[in-house]
Amino acid sequence: MFAKITIWTIIPILLFSAQIASAQSKDSKAGELENLGNGIFLEVIAAKYVTVIADTPEGVESSSEEWVVIPATFETITKTIVIQDPYFELQVTPVTLAEDGAVLQSAQASLIEIPAVTKTISRRVVKTPSRVVKRTIPSTYNPGTRRKKVSEAAYVFRDEKGTEIKRYEDPLFAMRFIEQLPN
């Protein structure tokens, strides 16, 4: 019923796994031939994949609305105000007399202009008040993607001239072919 497993059935499996792993490793080049001995070479062709857009509309989001606060805008107004109006002052210089009563300097009157006193005042005023508006966010479509296998990995056995002897897509069939090879 059960096949008898011996060391001789496990060793080819391990050797084949090592050959496939070395052929598929990043260090090996695509299409590189692995010498199996007796003039037979193994070429491992990696499976090919493409990225496709998923068929289901899972990525569709309906449009939504949100409330947005638009802040107030301000402007600075600068004014110059008059604290005291300009005016004229009469300045009188009295007579200067000598000790004996003689006039040294006669009396004088002059009109002096006193300028206005002003002050500059700056203040911020609201240009447009803050407000709350409803904004509609349009719907978006983000389709999901998935990897799709285009072709299976292939295990191609070739002779010394490069002619294809056998091609397998199943690694177990390829391993059985290797086991049947003469040593």
The whole-model pTM stands at: 0.38
Determine contact, residues 85/115, Cβ cutoff 8 Å. no
- Give the model's pLDDT for residue 93: 87
Residue 98's pLDDT is 84
**pLDDT digits 0-9 by tens, 106-119:** 888 888 898 999 99
Q: How confident is the model at residue 180 (pLDDT cuts 50, 70, 90)?
A: confident
Q: Which residue has the higher pLDDT, 37 or 168?
A: 168
Dump pLDDT digits (tens) for 15-58.
Answer: 555 555 554 444 444 467 787 777 888 888 888 888 887 665 55
- Check pLDDT > 90 for residue 73: yes
| pLDDT at position 61 | 62
- What is the structure's pLDDT at 39? 83
Contact 165, 41 (CB under 8 A): no
Structure-model confidence comparison of residues 8 and 38, the more confident one: 38
φ, ψ dihedrals at 127, nearest 5°? -85, -50
pLDDT value at residue 79: 93
Which of 61, 59, 73 has the alpha carbon at shortest distance from 131? 73
The pLDDT tens digits of the residues spanning 61-70 come to: 667 888 999 9
- Supply the pLDDT for residue 182: 76
pLDDT recorded at residue 19: 55
Question: Count of alpha carbons within 13 Å of 2, Cβ hemisphere only?
Answer: 3
Q: Where are the domains of the chain?
A: 1-60+151-183, 63-138
3-class SS letters over the chain: CCCCCCHHHHHHHHHHHHHHHHHHCCCCCCCCEEEEECCEEEEEECCEEEEEECCCCCCEECCEEEEEEECCEEEEEEEEEEEECCEEEEEEECCEECCCCCEEECCEEEEEEECCEEEEEEEEEEEECCEEEEEEECCEECCCEEEEEEECCEEEEECCCCCEEEEECCHHHHHHHHHHCCC
Chain segment 116-165, per-residue pLDDT in tens? 999 999 999 999 999 999 988 877 766 677 888 888 888 888 888 888 88
Residue type, 101: G
Residues listed for the chain = 183
